[in-house]
Amino acid sequence: MADYPEVLGLQTRSLREPVVEAEGIAMAFGTNTLFRDVTFQVERGEVFVILGGSGCGKSTLLKLLIGLYQPTAGQSRILGQNLQASTGRKRQALLAKLGVMWQSGALFGSMTLLENIMLPLEEHTTLPPQAREEVARVKLGLVGLSDAADRLPGEISGGMAKRAGIARAMALDPPVLFLDEPSAGLDPITSAGLDQLIKDLARDLGTTFVVVTHELQSILAIGDRCIMLDKEAKGMIAEGDPRELRDHATHPTVRAFFRREAI
Amino acid sequence: MSDDAEAPGFARDGNRLALHGALTTERIGDLWNPLLKAARGVAVVDLSRVSALDTSGAALVLAAGGEAARLEGAGQGVSAVLERARDALAAPRPRPAARRLPFVASLGAWTVGHGRTLRDGLGFLGEALVLSLAVLRHPRRLRLNDLLRHVDEAGLRAFPLTILLGTLIGVILAFQSSASLSAFGAQSYIPAMVGVIMARELGPLIAAVILAGRTGSAYAAELGTMTVNEEVDALRVMGVEPVAMLVLPRLIAGMLVMPVLTLVMNLSGFVGMGIIMNMLGYSVPLVTSQLQQWVTLGTLGGGLLKAAVFGLVIAGIGCRAGLSAGRGPRAVGDAATAAVVGGIVATVLLDGIFAVLFFRMSW
């Protein structure tokens, strides 16, 4: 284990403008350590994937990065600022610079999709009402849901809910978007459409994506770089370009993951 | 998007509108309306000095330019964002809502809708009745542990609230009536009046309101969540009848606990009334003898019979609301509301029917 986490495919990248940083992060619930010494940086415009098997702490790491949990050791920064240590208006301003798409969509059931997207605009901007609606329609159009603007979350499919979740996360055009299992439970066509959307948004809008997933096809399709967490190792076991890891990784768990083999 | 980005602004020169600075979500709020006003009738929108543009800014630029104006001078990044926003806005929007039906057709639709609800409700009652009879023949189909849990939750745990409300209602009734009856020197009849009111009407009614608020809503929320999570479908697919497993124990629990809650409510009310009578100088034997004389077994039994029916109906309405819940968290809230409102309305309606029935039977 001395050589791990192994790092592959990083030699061409320069991490000069980190948007998200994790420094020696550890997380434990009681005496149960989930992971320790997790360190990485995500640069602007990159699609960064956190991957790993079930129960390794991927979603917990995401919640930690967006300030919902306090790490038991280490610290994380978004746009150079420590979210956990921020309070009051400073924290609000920092939260406006990140968007989160939840695994279930987490859309508000009593509001239409358009109203769901207008909510953060109402809270964080001085846009007049008709402008909020116009901007919200653009976000819905970006994810291909223009014709569903007036529907309630209970009336749409799982794939549409995920796309609406991305649209709401993008409401304030944040520089960084966190996506929790965007492809989980979707059919291959919808999943591929969502992957394409993420790639397009990263390319055209320069948005940075931090994506938690264990969907292999998605990882290879969208990921510029990734880290892999492991339940047994209680931490990172690999970091780098997902395609490089697929082809050249030596860690047995990483190899098994990318080759879909049982260990 | 950084905080030191150039502030956005515009300048109009004839048919030309020049924009400058960072047109981003957090900066364009105050610019939106003045810019749209200034952009009326422009032929060209100059974007050469726009330093940053996000999709919200693109929405503003496209709204300002409208159909007619030409957008000029956009850099590569700005053009890409504009193109994406233009495509997004070009996508078809929702069709306008269907026109409202004329009055007669609306009335017909309303009647059909409510008729179906009534039919489904009756179907549910019938299914519950048939299964109850089946359980009489096969008692092992009734899950005793579930039944005991529901009796505990709906009954025992409601005792503190029932005792509190019963005592307070007894105190209030006795205190309010003492002022009026003292004018006629009839204060000694307060125990008779409060006793009959509690045993025949208020005891069952208030206990029913407690059951609808505490238990009916809980049944609807629990079964509604199970419906939303497809647990009810899973039961059906496993060949387990949801009504037998989920509804019957709750119906029986409701029917069993309501007479007990009513009895507790009545006794608490008598105690509350006794406290006031004692303060007015009447002895405990006088109060108890009045109660013995007026609160007959028939009066008490009539109240308890009503209570059992109320319990059955409230539990049934709660279960029905839960099992017919739609999708999403809102559906669970709607089911809980329907259970409480339906339970209370049904109780009052049934109470009226019982009043007529008891009158006809001289009970």
> Is residue B1's pLDDT more than 50?
no
Question: Which residue is closest to A104 within chain B, CA to CA?
Answer: B328
Write the single-letter amino acid at B54: D
Residues A51 and A138 grouped into a single domain: no
Of the candidates A9, A29, A164, which has an alpha carbon nearest to the alpha carbon of residue A99?
A: A164
Q: Distance between terminal CA atoms of chain B? A: 81
Give the integer Cα–Cα distance in Å for B26 and B57: 9
If one counts every other C-beta atom within 10 angstroms of the C-beta of residue B302, the result is 20
Give the integer Cα–Cα distance in Å for B117 and B242: 19
The CATH classification number of B9-90 equals 3.30.750.24
If one counts every other C-beta atom within 10 angstroms of the C-beta of residue A102, the result is 19
Residues A159 and A188 grouped into a single domain: no
Residues A28 and A84 grouped into a single domain: yes
Residues A118 and A155 grouped into a single domain: yes
Nearest to A126 among B30, B54, B327 (CB): B30
Q: Distance between terminal CA atoms of chain A? A: 17
> Is residue B235's pLDDT more than 60?
yes
Express each pLDDT in B325-339 by its tens digit. 877 667 888 999 999
Asked whether A208 and A43 are in contact (CB, 8 A), the reply is: yes
Of A140, A173, A206, at which residue does a domain stop?
A173
Of A153, A173, A193, at which residue does a domain stop?
A173
Chain B contact probe: residue of A127, A134, A200 with most B CBs at under 10 A: A127
CB < 8 Å to A134, chain B:
59, 63
Mean pLDDT, chain B, integer = 90
The total number of residues shown for chain A amounts to: 263
Residues A133 and A221 grouped into a single domain: no
Mean pLDDT, chain A, integer = 87
Write the single-letter amino acid at B19: L
Residues A255 and A130 grouped into a single domain: no
Tokens of A114: 């358009």
Predicted confidence band of residue A202 (pLDDT cuts 50, 70, 90):
confident
Asked whether B298 and B193 are in contact (CB, 8 A), the reply is: no
Give the integer Cα–Cα distance in Å for A159 and A167: 13
Contact across the interface for A146 and B93, Cβ inside 8 Å = yes
Of A173, A206, A229, at which residue does a domain stop?
A173
Asked whether A7 and A240 are in contact (CB, 8 A), the reply is: yes
What domain range includes position A58? 1-97+175-263
For chain B, the domains span: 9-90, 123-360
Asked whether B132 and B124 are in contact (CB, 8 A), the reply is: no
Give the integer Cα–Cα distance in Å for A96 and A175: 10
Contact across the interface for B92 and A134, Cβ inside 8 Å = no
Residues A162 and A183 grouped into a single domain: no
Q: Where do the DSSP E strands lie in chain B?
A: 9-13, 16-23, 44-53, 70-72
Q: Pick the residue with more confidence: B292 or B328?
A: B292
Q: Express the helix, strand and coil content of chain B in percent, nearest 5 each.
A: 75, 5, 20
CATH number at residue A238: 3.40.50.300
Handedness of CA B270, B272, B277, B278 (dihedral sign): positive
The lowest-confidence range among A136-140, A164-168, B225-229, B274-278 is B225-229
Give the integer Cα–Cα distance in Å for B88 and A146: 8
Express each pLDDT in B260-279 by its tens digit. 999 999 999 999 999 999 99
Predicted confidence band of residue A8 (pLDDT cuts 50, 70, 90):
low
